[in-house]
Structure 1
Amino acid sequence: MFENALVIGKFYPPHAGHRHLIETAAAGARSVWVLVQGSRFESLTAQQRADWLAEEFAAVGNVTVIAVRNDCPEDFFSDEIWMAQLENMRLALKMRGVESIDVLFSSESYGERLAQAFTAVHISVDPRRSAYPVSGTMCRENLATAWPLLVPAARRGMAVRIIVVGAESTGTTTLSEALSAHYRRRFPQLHDVVEYGRQFTYEKLAARQASAPQTRVEDLVWTAADFGLIAERQTQLEQAAAEASPLVIADTDALATTLWERYYLGEGSYGSFAAVGQLPRRDIYLLTDHNGVDFEDDGWREGEHRRAEMTEWFKESLVEAGHSWILLTGSHERRMATATAVIDAMLAQQAAFTSPGWAGRTSLAATE
């Protein structure tokens, strides 16, 4: 068992091969130091990648992940550049109190030379990528295909999240279902993130009718705990969808749940507010306007008279929280056109990994 192990990399983005590398190191050393090196020229920051890896290994007590800013060029034939890179690593470790490294775990060709520089043993881990046929290059070149191979925290962090919200009978479900159908052709694994509050209402009514068959939906008594559970479960559904697909289209979320809690229980009820504090990163909210949309009473709705008020609540809450949002008006076709235009732009941005000119590529074919 070694004392201090070192793992370095870009982890751009973190994937199953990286996890295997760090797991191997964690099994062979008392302390594993993972240096995540990221430059200003890359579209994911070093801190983002480090946070995802730290979350992945949170339950492993001997792994420490460190984000390292490194804008130095890469040139394995330059002794001067090599020294600059080594000093960047050494100081990152020194500032954490690590003065010596016993072993370097690596899958790269430079591993032996780097280990020698640290006067450490080199252990090569799956250099041919046969155990996990994935590389950062492969992920960046075809993110949708590689999505299942990213570590779950990276998937949750990188997914484009589209949240559809609105007052009763303003077309939120119609829009979210149409968007899901449209993008499922591109992302077959895209999940439906349905309104859990409606499912909860069905279950609550069925449970009440088991002892009182005449109970109607308007007879149900709501509590702050109900809304807390709904908000928590809504976020869980959204997170599961992010792990499955690079695109999430959610029909409501925990923030919307706080407004419905306010609607039913008044200003003094805060059962769902804790879940809002744990909201994942949002890309955009699509707010469906009530104007020009006929109210359809499906037997589960309160009425048309408060739609304008609710729409205003949504606008105020989204602005107060600093979220990006678009008010969707007009016909369903017009709303779809607006929504798909912004989603397409966001997906293009998601897939556009940037790298400096000196960055190398890992070809799996070349390692076989």
Structure 2
Amino acid sequence: MNPSRFGLGVVIGKFLPPHRGHRHLIETALSQCERVIVIVCGKPIDPIPPHLRAEWLREMVPAAEVMLIDDRYDENDSRIWAENTIQWLGRAPDAVFTSEDYGDRYASYMGSTHVQVDKARLTVPCSGTAVRTDALAMWDFIDPPVRGWFAKRVVIVGAESTGTTTLAMDLASALQTPWVAEYGREYSEVKQARGETEWFTDEFLDIAREQNRREDLAARQANRILICDTNSFATALWHRRYMGHHDERLQAIGAECRADLYLLTGDEIPFIQDGLRDGEHIRHEMHGWFETALAAQSAPWHLLRGTREQRLAEALKIIRTRWPAIEESLAPAPDGV
């Protein structure tokens, strides 16, 4: 072991959520220790599940070992925390790395060295409270796994040939962020190419699960807002369209997806046949299904009508009013938008 380095170093905290200040703290410990254990303290009532915070830290700083413990102690009692730390680790650490004043007391009870890192938050001007208060404003201080949790998800839904994909692409371009395509259409194209015409409920279950997976993956790369061309909530309505009934399993999958805002595209525009569509006769009825379903769920939603340009302008107005912090990451809006 290098005599200039500590043997075992510890970083302890709630990491609610983990941010780049935490990463800087842990990386500092890694640079000075042969081995670093990060102790994540969590309660079941925390706004972000403790196991997720531990998973995020493992991804953010893979060289550190992450330990999750159930935080049910007086957070101000450094002696109890020190005693428990020794019990959890099986020994006292050689060094404790913190950005807080409590570190002196905590380390002294274990006979450890306290290394204080960036107490004034000058190197990384960030805190967990600031991220929880306005994650979009603190976007540059959180890593992809955390961004996936905080990214606002705007979902475009609508009946067949009502401009959902066009609006999704236009919004993603204007907001300089990724968008998630409709997996159901991709699946349908393959199905049609095989000459298959009959649908089965299991296919819709697979489509809904894959839509959720792709959405969660894309959210990690979002620029504050993720645009989704439909989601698994809408898949349940397409199941009704083709199968003629609801399915509780599908609705349960749809309930797992996240949506912070729904934008419903109107059916007043002409129906365009692209070789895959077959629902012109039911388009207006399906539009009504979407209105009813959206009214019954909790996320806010808006109906968009008009030209392509009018829909984009109205959608951007809604989004910018709801989340002003997104302007920090955008170039000046085009004239009229």
TM-score, with length taken from structure 2: 0.72
| 221, 232, 238: which one aligns with 1:244 | 221
Tell me the equivalent position of 2:188: 201
Separation in 1 of the partners of 2:251 and 2:49? 28
CA gap 1:53/1:170 in 2 versus in 1, 3 angstroms: same
- Structure 1 residue 252: deviation in Å? 0.5
Paired amino acid for 1:108 = S
Tell me the equivalent position of 2:56: 56
* 2:298 corresponds to 1:322: yes
- Structure 1 residue 277: deviation in Å? 3.6
* 2:165 corresponds to 1:173: yes
CA gap 1:90/1:234 in 2 versus in 1, 3 angstroms: farther
* 2:160 corresponds to 1:182: no
- Structure 1 residue 221: deviation in Å? 1.8
Separation in 2 of the partners of 1:26 and 1:351? 43
| 1:282-361 aligned within 5 A | 282-290=259-267, 292-348=268-324
Query: Do the aligned partners of 1:224 and 1:271 also contact (CA within 8 Å) in 2?
Result: no
Separation in 1 of the partners of 2:236 and 2:271? 23
Tell me the equivalent position of 2:26: 21
| 3, 9, 12: which one aligns with 1:7 | 12
Separation in 1 of the partners of 2:162 and 2:71? 45
| 241, 251, 254: which one aligns with 1:273 | 251
Query: Do the aligned partners of 1:54 and 1:65 also contact (CA within 8 Å) in 2?
Result: no
| 226, 229, 236: which one aligns with 2:203 | 226
Tell me the equivalent position of 1:41: none
Tell me the equivalent position of 2:40: 34
Q: Deviations over 1:127-158 (max 9, x none)?
A: 479xxx75526996x97797576344321111
Secondary structure of 2:161's match? Answer: coil
Tell me the equivalent position of 1:115: 106
Separation in 2 of the partners of 1:147 and 1:67? 28
Paired amino acid for 1:21 = I
Paired amino acid for 2:53 = L
Separation in 2 of the partners of 1:26 and 1:296? 64
Query: Do the aligned partners of 2:57 and 2:66 also contact (CA within 8 Å) in 1?
Result: no
Secondary structure of 2:48's match? Answer: helix
Secondary structure of 1:261's match? Answer: helix
Identity of counterpart residues, as a percentage? 28
Q: Deviations over 1:272-322 (max 9, x none)?
A: 334324313x210001121x2111121211132212221122122223332
Larger RCO (alpha carbons 8 Å, 6+ apart): 1
Tell me the equivalent position of 1:154: 146
CA gap 1:90/1:116 in 2 versus in 1, 3 angstroms: closer
Query: Do the aligned partners of 2:161 and 2:271 also contact (CA within 8 Å) in 1?
Result: yes
Secondary structure of 1:64's match? Answer: strand
- Structure 1 residue 107: deviation in Å? 4.4
Paired amino acid for 1:136 = C
Which runs of 5 or more residues in structure 1 are unaligned?
38-44, 70-83, 185-189, 209-214, 353-368
Q: Deviations over 1:207-243 (max 9, x none)?
A: x2xxxxxx4xxx5222222112211221222112211
Tell me the equivalent position of 2:334: none
Tell me the equivalent position of 2:332: none
Paired amino acid for 1:15 = H
CA RMSD of the aligned region, Å? 4.3
Secondary structure of 1:54's match? Answer: helix
How many pairs were matched up? 303
Secondary structure of 2:181's match? Answer: coil
- Structure 1 residue 179: deviation in Å? 0.8
